[in-house]
Chains A and B, each alone.
Chain A
Amino acid sequence: MQASNVLNYDYSVAKCFTYATILFGIVGMLIGVIIAYQMAYPELNYFAGEYGTYSRLRPLHTSGVIFGFLLSGIFATWYYVGQRVLKVSIAESKFLMSVGRVHFWLYLVVILMAVVSLFMGISTSKEYAELEWPLDIGVVLLWVLWGISIFGLIGIRREKTLYVSIWYYIATFLGVAMLYLFNNMEVPTYFVSGMGKWYHSVSMYAGTNDAMVQWWYGHNAVAFVFTVPIVAMIYYFLPKESAQPIFSYKLSILSFWGLMFVYLWAGGHHLLYSTVPDWVQTMGSIFSIILILPSWGSAINMLLTMKGEWGQLKENPLIKFMVLASTFYMLSTLEGPIQAIKSVNALAHFTDWIPGHVHDGTLGWVGFMTMAALYHMTPRMFKKELFSKKLMESQFWLQTTGIVMYFSSMWIAGITQGMMWRASDQYGNLEYSFMDTVSVLIPYYTLRATGGLFYLIGFLLFAYNMYKTITSGKAILSEPQNSSPMQA
């Protein structure tokens, strides 16, 4: 496209969400590091009275990084990528512009209220769905606003064919909407009984059914927040940054529809050997294995996009972030299915191997890809040169070391604990008390927390690099050169 024809995209909303991503990233990861050290050094539980215990902070960490850091990262990239691949500026519609602004401010209010309410211990107990009903309504509202923004922009698009990234954003929107609504069905007790706390509610489902709905949600929150939108990002940013066309369109189609078709079944693998029906458990197990295909489909598609261009790894640290992200995606989508095999799960369930698995996915795949996206966007949004590539290099190695420390220590810890729980002596009695199986893990907890600390320091370097780029980076007149998906 000729320079004179280049659209003036409006990045004001994308910029706001970029700031939010950095802010909530720091907060969420800091709390993560604190609770990780609390497991190694329990005295650290008492720095803020009842508000500083591990148990109060844990939902804050998970919600903070999922709904604070990552969700704002997803929104930031949407408000950047969406305009470019649809070839339409959001500023062309006053309505969509104001929807975008309201979307951001409502999001900020909901997240801040979520932080306060979780500190106070207001929780429904369901993992990644702890928020009580008034905040659930806020979440639904802001989700609807995002939907209007997506479909509104698609409605006024110039490029008629939807690029792969848009498929994944649409799927994120629909998937989370469905899951969140059904898992958060609850009855506010005040409106039935006229007494007690007004914000308290009770789940619509009981016991085993509640567990099924929760893990149908819980596992697929992983799908539609940790996977689908991140794939949307990599499908745009990797070809764009490397100036390489995507390896295979057919593979894109196969892995997209495959992922959609298979993922929702896999929730049952969180409930193996529980009281849910056996066939649901078996289906969960089987579909988890099948899930390797579409997951590796996307990852391989990305890695092969770099075919013959591996030299770029040396010159461009940003490519390194994205290649590492796809590699970790492959690792964790192989590890997950292994853990979903019933006999492996019998050992791994309830142990530290599970958080270990979650974190090689989140730190390696999700975190690296989100930071890479922001690194790519910021120079283009602010028309400033990236402040320091050297700093990016140091950050890359620091964080990679952190991740390796994290998952290797948790592998050892998880398998050790699982083996000790089931060990019996020659008379068939349990060999270890529960406390024995905790004491043995302390060194691994320290190692894990330190790995997390490395990652956090790396993230602070990232934040500093972004800050310096925005405030004092060298101005650039034309956009950094690249080829791109759909010439956007």
Chain B
Amino acid sequence: MFHWLERNPFFFAVGVFLVIAYAGVVTILPDFMESARPVIGTKPYTVLELAGRQIYIKDSCNACHSQLIRPFKSETDRYGMYSLSGEYAYDRPFLWGSKRTGPDLMRVGNYRTTDWHDHHMRNPQSVVSGSIMPAYKHMYTNNADIQTAYAEAYTVKKVFNVPYDKPNMPRLGTFEEANKEVMKEASAIIADMKSDDVKEAFKKGEIKEIVALIAYLNSLK
């Protein structure tokens, strides 16, 4: 049979494809629906949090930080309750990471404050002596992209039925309505920050990247 295949490229290719394709079908499909179901209490991200999540991706925070707590005592002691599948139901894309050059951030919102992040992102060594994390000063000058964040929230609501605007869920509404919410959330975060440049910019109606990023990090619980 193999000799015959080697002289018939079409059937050879079909054979190879069948042999390589089945594993994906068998491993991914059976539990697809089960894995997509949220646990009770999990909520989609607000628009400001989503903007922060996009910044997290833009600067590849996931290259050094995981968001996956494995069920070992040493991990639950260090980072909190181990991860459940349903907690990730609104994570598109997932951000588990594959390397912990820095600590896990799955529940960082439980034990770090806005003020801590504010100092840490500007100069990590000032709060964690010996840290090898770079400073992210450009997050204090670049503006967060609220429009794209709204576009993403609107898209997942329309296409994947993510429950925005449902009882006890984040409000989305029109862009104008969403923007008002964003300003309210941002002002609460900025009130806890010590960075004057960020405060000044906010008075002019600008939301710096750092504000959105902190909103996202605080939401990780």
Contacts and interface: CB of A to CB of B under 8 A. Distances in A.
A274 B17 contact: no
A39 B132 contact: yes
Interface residues of A, number: 91
B93 A160 contact: no
A394 to B, nearest CB: 33
A264 B66 CA distance: 24
B40 interface: no
A214 B20 contact: no
Interface of B: 2-3, 6-7, 9, 12-13, 16-17, 19-24, 27-28, 31-32, 34-36, 54, 57-64, 66, 68, 70-75, 77-78, 83-103, 128-138, 142, 145, 147-152, 154-156, 158-160, 175
B57 A55 contact: no
A389 to B, nearest CB: 36
Contacts of A434: 78, 102-103
Contacts, number: 256
A189 interface: yes
Interface string A120-133: 01111111000000
Give the residue among A55, A122, A171 with the most B Cβ atoms within 10 A: A55
A190 B92 CA distance: 16
Interface of A: 38-40, 42, 45-46, 49-50, 53-56, 58-59, 121-127, 151, 154, 160-162, 167, 170-171, 174-175, 178, 182, 187, 189-190, 192-197, 200, 202-203, 205-214, 216, 253, 257, 260-261, 263-265, 267-268, 270, 273-277, 280, 283, 346, 349-352, 354-355, 421-424, 429-430, 434-435, 438-439, 442
Contacts of B96: 211, 274
Given A174-B16, A178-B20, A424-B74, A161 B6 contact: yes
B70 A346 contact: yes
Nearest to B66: A350
A253 B57 contact: no
A211 B36 CA distance: 11
B16 A260 contact: yes
B35 A208 contact: yes
Given A206-B90, A209-B28, 16 more contacts: A53-B136, A125-B57, A161-B6, A167-B12, A170-B16, A174-B20, A189-B151, A196-B147, A202-B156, A205-B93, A206-B91, A210-B93, A263-B20, A346-B70, A352-B99, A424-B74
B68 A274 contact: yes
Given A210-B92, A216-B28, A435-B130, A354 B148 contact: no
